[in-house]
Amino acid sequence: MTIDATRSQPCTIVVCRGCCCGDPRKHPGTDHAWQLDRLRSGAAEHGFHVRTTECLGPCDQANVIVVQPSADGRRAGGRAVWIGFAMDDDCTEEVVNWAAAGGPGVAQPPATLELQFVRPPREARLRARR
């Protein structure tokens, strides 16, 4: 595989699936499997990436999703955005649509999604400053 320097790294969505996020016993009214399937189908359709992680940290704000900017978004000043309480279908669709439009630094997030932005844990804030 060759690396193409002209190709831009797309937006990436990181979905927490640790102890609290994605747990149907703790959040029985949410279809966690559908959410991940929808994010992945949006990624396949629009060209962004989705990955899961064991625990992002702010468990009291589950489900947590982080939208990382594309390379173009970073060049434009975009930074990772943490979204808490991401459990309903509307929120999932807004995340898909925002990532499809380019994500942080490229496209404005929906105003209703902005209401769910949360501060990352202290460790993530320290890493971001390096």
- The pLDDT of residue 60 is 86
pLDDT along the chain (130 residues), means of 10: 62 90 77 92 97 89 94 96 94 97 97 95 56
The reported pTM is 0.86
127: enclosing H helix or E strand: helix 122-129
**Ramachandran category for residue 13: left, alpha or beta (phi over 0 → left; psi -120 to 50 → alpha):** beta
- The pLDDT of residue 59 is 85
- The pLDDT of residue 116 is 96
- The pLDDT of residue 126 is 47
- The pLDDT of residue 124 is 53
